[in-house]
Structures are given as C-alpha cells and as structure tokens.
Amino acid sequence: MLHVVLVEPEIPQNTGNIARTCLAAGACLHLAGPLGFVIDGAALRRAGMDYWEQCDVRRWESLGDLRRAAGGARFHFLTTKATRPYWETDFTDGDYLVFGRETRGLPESLLAAESAHLLTIPMAAGARSLNLATSVGIVLYEACRQLRAG
C-alpha cells in the first residue's frame, strides 16, 4: 500500500479530493499536524465528502509522530524547490508521499534535513505551482503505475 501524507492541509475541498483519489488508488491518507479546518459530519457534508467513511484516513499530531510510527519506511517529500523529477524515483510498496500546505508547502527546515529525498513535478517556466490535489494525483498514480508494472 502507498501512503499519502498531507502536512497541515488548509483547504477542506483539496483534502476531500485527495481522499477520493487515495480511495480510488487503494492508498492510505495521513493528515499530520494541525488542520486548517474541522473534520466533523457537518463539515464533511458541506465539502461534499460523503464517501469519507470509506477512506483509510489517519490523523497524526505531527509529521514526527507519523515517522516514528512508520519505522524504517521510505518518505519522499514533494516540493517546487527540488530539481529531481518524481519519475526518476523507483517507488516501492509502503512508500510515503509527503505534501505540504497549499499556501506554503513543506517547512524549509524539513526540506534542508531531507534534501536527498526531495522530488518535484517539473513545470513550464513561469508556472508557480499546481493545485495540491492535482499534484497528489500525478505522483500517486505514477507510483501505482510503477508498482503494477514491476
């Protein structure tokens, strides 16, 4: 199983779209750190997340808590501040794909500490960033493709 990690997500609709993508791909969604929204029945209905109960979603107080629980699993950190394209990685079963907040991405301190594990989605010059849900879909399905082809 692949794992998608959202660190401090801010927009419930993005998280809902990502949860739906994880459900379709058979991946687990981890939400780490404080959320920029409330997850309760009313909020889920307002965001159109009527399938939420079907999703494998796990909450963590922090990314550090998740990493300790994951043991020796491999973590890949997606950022616009990297140069290595995501397709140059050989994904394996059990990998964690980590994405940051919609407005700020992953913390600079984490990027500096994990420089060997940073990946990016290449974009044309002048493009600032992709929507978080789109980015997750691109990388998650490449990982799925690799696992099914291997």
Which residue has better confidence, 146 or 40?
146
What was the pLDDT predicted at 54? 81
Q: Identify any residues that bridge with 6 across adjacent strands, giving them in sequence order.
A: 31, 99
Q: Each residue of 76-134: pLDDT tens digit?
A: 999 999 999 999 999 999 999 999 999 999 999 999 999 999 999 999 998 888 999 99
pLDDT at 145 over 70: yes
| pTM of this structure | 0.92
What was the pLDDT predicted at 50? 66
What was the pLDDT predicted at 140? 98
Question: How many Å apart are CA 143 and CA 146, to the nearest integer?
Answer: 5
Q: Alpha carbon of 50 to those of 9, 24, 25, 47, 129: distances in Å?
A: 19, 14, 18, 9, 28
Confirm or reject CATH 3.10.20.600 for domain 3-149, answering yes or no: no
What are the residue boundaries of the structural domains of the chain, listed by start?
3-149
Q: Each residue of 8-64: pLDDT tens digit?
A: 999 888 888 899 899 999 999 999 998 877 776 666 555 556 677 788 889 999 999
